[in-house]
Structure 1
Amino acid sequence: MQARGPVHEAYAEPTGAAPAPGTVAPQAPPADINEVPPDQRPEGDNVQWIPGYWAWDDDSHGYIWVSGFWRIPPPARRWLPGHWQAIDGGWQWVAGFWAPDDLTQVQYLPAPPPLPDQPAPPPAPDPNSVYVPGIWVYQQAQYMWRPGFWVPFRPGWVWSPANYVWTPNGCLFFEGYWDRPLGERGLLFAPVRFGPAWRGGAFVPSFVVNTDFLLGALFVRTAAHHFYFGDYFDKGYANRGFVAWPDYRIGRVGFDPNFSYYRHLYTGHPEWEKNLHELYHARAAGTIARPPRTWNQQVQAVRTLPGNRTAFVHNDIHVTHVENVSVLSPLAQAHNVHVTGLAGLARTPVANVPAHVVKLEPVTRDVHAREVQAAAQLRESAALRRNTEAKVLSSGGPRPLLHTDPPHVAALNLPKPIPHVEVPRPGPVVAPRVAPPIPVMPQHEVRAIPKFEPHPLPRPPIPVKR
């Protein structure tokens, strides 16, 4: 069990960065693990099991399994998993994405121009606003500039802005949508490294990544367009494109929307952001112990903690020694856990931060059967998408590269989602959380497009002569 590694794409993906090719692995991924959902899940009527996938790990020069997890999906969205695509020189990862429920076709676009140097945001209309940076949008057979704009802050909701997904056939563009904060999206399970002793069989994820720990050790790997968590504090990782979550910027004027949410949540407590930065810097400098990298190392670290385990790691950084090394928790210990959003970093009581308690419930036999079937359907959708893109790639079909190239449209006949199984619960009926209205987008502008070299599209693998 790994106490660090990739964050499942369906849990969180960086937004705002220019679309870039996915990771290239020198060898084919193994067959998917026979992964089975655990018998406990967070309470709720729309909690779905999202299956795991293989990710290439540069440190071990091998594949690591990014475990499936329980997720409350964004409203009116469905997950379309990523896949590994064979190309000339290896295998390339093509990222998954939260697609609109009514998606029936995809439009492969030429790569958008690089983000221009954006000026400082205009004054906010009120203190209760969050800034969304500008982005290039393909309209009327050309790229037009959508200026940045302000979105009202909504407690319990994160605005995930418009974003691009790179594929071997071109770039996919999706408009923004509302999502839940990181601490309320579900249960994220630990990645797993399977060694040669693994003999197959069913694998049930059983170690949960602690959400509060995640906020204090989250990184954006810009080249891979992926979140990573855990001990990536060494300078060598910065040289490989790992950026600490609080330091990540979109076009130099915007924050990651998830960080922006927590930053705004602690308005009036600037010491929260200051101390969060200090926690990252102190771990990088070694003045605060770095977190363990595996579950076994975590057990040993907790066992050998010196002195008072309830004392804080630093006078200003209100994280205890136990919290500092507690990356994972067994699933059985994830019930009734209070997610604080690292409120202790604010030093003073924070009254306006809503409390969130993780409550688990048993997974009934009917629900479990439904989730196993739904996971198989997600893998079927991923294979359908992979085959659709592979046909264009291998046939040498239209793949837009220059921003003046016309887009290529392809049908995507996804299977209908499997209906959810209603679970009766005692007590009063809780009304579903309704997403805020979609923000009004600013008018697009025609701007001069600078000269730039887009990433070359990959070539299909060379056939082997027999």
Structure 2
Amino acid sequence: MKRIKMGLLATCLAVWMVSDVIFAQTGDVPVAPADIPSTIKGNTSSDEDIEVLARGPVHEAFASQVNYDPKPGMIVENGPPEQVDEIPPDYKPDGENVIWIPGYWGFDDQRKDYVWISGVWRTPPAGRRWVPGYWNELMNDRDYQWVSGFWASSERRKMNYSTAPPESLENGPSVSAPTKSHFWVPGVWLYRGTNYRWRAGHWVRYRPDYVYIPSRWMWTPGGYVFVDGYWDYQMSARGVMFAPVIMHAPIVQYRPSIVMDIGRFHMHWFVRPHYGHYYFGDYYDSHYQQQHHIYSHHHFHLNIGYDPFFAYNHVHYRHHHGISYLHHSSTWHSYFSSHPLHRPAHTFGMQLNIGSNHGERYFGMSVYAQHIDRYRVQSDLHRNFVRVGTQYRNASVNQSVSYTRLAYERNRMENGKLATGSPNSAQSSNGSWTMPQVQRGTNVTIGSAQRHVRITVPTVRTGVVPPKAAPGTSNKIVARPMVTMPRPTSSYPFVTRPSTRPGSGLSGNYPSLPTRPRVTIGG
């Protein structure tokens, strides 16, 4: 029987009933302090209890990883610790749509323990609301399985659950791009009536500062959820991401303060499809790919799946700099793979030692963790920061509780749909869940999100100086060949899923797929 943390739930329910609050933004950006301490300010525990990391998983709300085929989350032994009382940082990016999305427990299978993935300041995609993930306790009362979160449409509160879609038919484009400003969006299965129909991939025109997240299916314990495609902001315009931390002792209260400089760490970008997360930092050693299935994002995009950031950057770098992004990213990856001493440090403390001993002669691209007091006054951010007032902080705390409650309700609902079965299988019948209505102070409204896109489009640019090439290489390209992929086996825009499984000898409706193999922490 599920073990419910009644104390936390009671607190969530109590705060959930608090009336709507109005966000307030007060204060100007002050002058940078003369010295920034390396310790974390704002925590009620000693600094020895918290170890700030300079690598790890990326918050799912900040960057959502895409798979052709929905993958069950990884399974680990023992459940996560109690939810952390995380309060928002003292400063936030300026903007009426910027919201605080709280952190959650992730799992580090190298340490075989949990790590806290800190919350993020985020400008939500237009017309989207965040549906948080959760750790699902399995029926053996020992193992837990991760269920990923996603950005759902704000226009549709009802979430439908379906049987498993067939294996993806995506095999890349069969025709050349209309222009060099187009990128490929993969195909996807659509559920129509009682059958699945294949919608082929297509070319989409590049939009400066926007990344297209393609339609995909998400696995849950209650079935498979379809998330339609949407435009999101490019990485540096999404908000602020904070460093993950290891908590060596129970923390009374935690306030993130170490920022990940997105402009610098984007070269150290990895994908872990079986966990549904992006990773950043030093994962260059071969055993991360061989044992943990953590891939460099360009390798993943060209050989395994689809990465929206690679698709965006492939066109963006050509359009603004005449640079091959594949060459740019792969040569830097090769450089760091063969120069271990020039890789990013694993912790913030180690990075401080590197910076003080070596400056930025060799480590400029590997030093990206900064205290928010230093980060917010940088002249190249193209974005202002404002002090978080008391009302806004209280509203963000209430917002965090709202997300916690939504995750609990989702957990309860999705597990109630499955009477029996393995953790990696879905029931054959469909079901649905009507999510709570988006409340003021808990997420962005559809209207304001659309106005933000139309009127205040971010114009964050990489600058007139082309990105630095890896030592001994050049970014400039003479010919501009398109990255080609194998032709698909079918050129029809729609392929109807047959009512009989080929070779099964069965007739009638297409039966549910067989139970998927158990996902272990190594995968």
Shorter chain as normaliser: what TM range?
0.7 to 0.9
Tell me: CA distance 1:110–1:214, structure 2 relative to 1, closer, same or farther (3 Å).
Answer: farther
The answer for the alignment partner of 1:242 in structure 2 is: 294
Shift of residue 222 of structure 1? Answer: 1.8
Structure 1 residues 99-248: aligned runs within 5 Å: 99-116=152-169, 118=171, 120-195=173-248, 198-239=249-290, 240-248=292-300
Work out the CA distance in 2 between the residues paired with 1:399 and 1:219: 27
Work out the CA distance in 1 between the residues paired with 2:97 and 2:130: 13
Structure 1 residues 16-165: aligned runs within 5 Å: 16-87=67-138, 88=140, 89-116=142-169, 118=171, 120-165=173-218
Q: Report the number of matched residues.
A: 412
Indicate conservation of the 8 Å contact 1:46/1:420, yes or no: no
Indicate conservation of the 8 Å contact 1:17/1:250, yes or no: no
The answer for the alignment partner of 2:395 in structure 1 is: 370
Work out the CA distance in 2 between the residues paired with 1:400 and 1:229: 28
Work out the CA distance in 1 between the residues paired with 2:403 and 2:269: 27
Shift of residue 366 of structure 1? Answer: 1.6
The answer for the alignment partner of 2:454 in structure 1 is: 434
The answer to whether structure 1 residue 383 and structure 2 residue 424 are counterparts is: no
The answer to whether structure 1 residue 284 and structure 2 residue 325 are counterparts is: no
Amino acid at match of 1:13: S
Work out the CA distance in 1 between the residues paired with 2:296 and 2:443: 40
Shift of residue 171 of structure 1? Answer: 1.2
Indicate conservation of the 8 Å contact 2:157/2:437, yes or no: no
Work out the CA distance in 1 between the residues paired with 2:195 and 2:356: 60
Tell me: CA distance 1:224–1:338, structure 2 relative to 1, closer, same or farther (3 Å).
Answer: farther
Shift of residue 322 of structure 1? Answer: 3.8
Shift of residue 310 of structure 1? Answer: 5.2
Tell me: CA distance 1:245–1:338, structure 2 relative to 1, closer, same or farther (3 Å).
Answer: farther
The answer for the alignment partner of 1:349 in structure 2 is: none
Indicate conservation of the 8 Å contact 2:314/2:326, yes or no: yes
Work out the CA distance in 2 between the residues paired with 1:421 and 1:392: 27
Deviation readout 1:99-155 (Å, 9 max, x if unpaired):
111333222222222223625441222222111011222212111111010111111
Structure 1: state its 5+ residue gaps. 312-320, 340-355, 423-430, 437-441, 459-466
Amino acid at match of 2:439: P
Aligned-pair Cα RMSD in Å: 2.9
Structure 1 residues 247-266: aligned runs within 5 Å: 247-249=299-301, 255-266=306-317
| Of 336, 346, 371, the match for 1:330 | 371
Structure 1 residue matching 2:191: 3-state secondary structure:
strand
Work out the CA distance in 1 between the residues paired with 2:203 and 2:266: 24
Indicate conservation of the 8 Å contact 1:170/1:399, yes or no: no
Q: TM-score, normalised by structure 1?
A: 0.81
The answer for the alignment partner of 1:446 in structure 2 is: 496
Shift of residue 97 of structure 1? Answer: 0.8
Shift of residue 167 of structure 1? Answer: 0.8
Shift of residue 368 of structure 1? Answer: 1.3
Work out the CA distance in 2 between the residues paired with 1:173 and 1:65: 28
The share of aligned pairs that are identical, in percent, is: 29
Work out the CA distance in 1 between the residues paired with 2:118 and 2:382: 23
Shift of residue 174 of structure 1? Answer: 1.0
Shift of residue 398 of structure 1? Answer: 12
Work out the CA distance in 2 between the residues paired with 1:338 and 1:142: 55
Shift of residue 286 of structure 1? Answer: 2.3
Indicate conservation of the 8 Å contact 2:68/2:306, yes or no: no
Shift of residue 249 of structure 1? Answer: 2.1
Amino acid at match of 1:411: W
Tell me: CA distance 1:158–1:205, structure 2 relative to 1, closer, same or farther (3 Å).
Answer: same
Structure 2: state its 5+ residue gaps. 1-51, 445-450, 458-491, 504-511, 519-523
Structure 1 residue matching 2:349: 3-state secondary structure:
helix
Q: TM-score, normalised by structure 2?
A: 0.73
Amino acid at match of 2:267: G
Structure 1 residue matching 2:318: 3-state secondary structure:
coil
Work out the CA distance in 2 between the residues paired with 1:370 and 1:250: 43
Shift of residue 238 of structure 1? Answer: 0.8
Amino acid at match of 2:374: Q
| Of 419, 426, 430, the match for 1:408 | 430
Work out the CA distance in 1 between the residues paired with 2:416 and 2:255: 34
Work out the CA distance in 2 between the residues paired with 1:200 and 1:136: 45
Work out the CA distance in 2 between the residues paired with 1:250 and 1:102: 34
Shift of residue 331 of structure 1? Answer: 0.6
Indicate conservation of the 8 Å contact 2:183/2:203, yes or no: yes
Tell me: CA distance 1:135–1:400, structure 2 relative to 1, closer, same or farther (3 Å).
Answer: same
Work out the CA distance in 2 between the residues paired with 1:132 and 1:336: 37
| Of 386, 402, 405, the match for 1:361 | 386
Indicate conservation of the 8 Å contact 1:337/1:359, yes or no: no
Work out the CA distance in 2 between the residues paired with 1:223 and 1:11: 18
Q: Where in structure 1 do 4 or more consecutive aligned residues deviate above 4 Å?
A: 397-402, 447-455
Deviation readout 1:251-291 (Å, 9 max, x if unpaired):
86x74112211221111523444122111111112266111
Structure 2 residue matching 1:270: 3-state secondary structure:
coil
Deviation readout 1:376-410 (Å, 9 max, x if unpaired):
111111111011112223x33999958xx754212
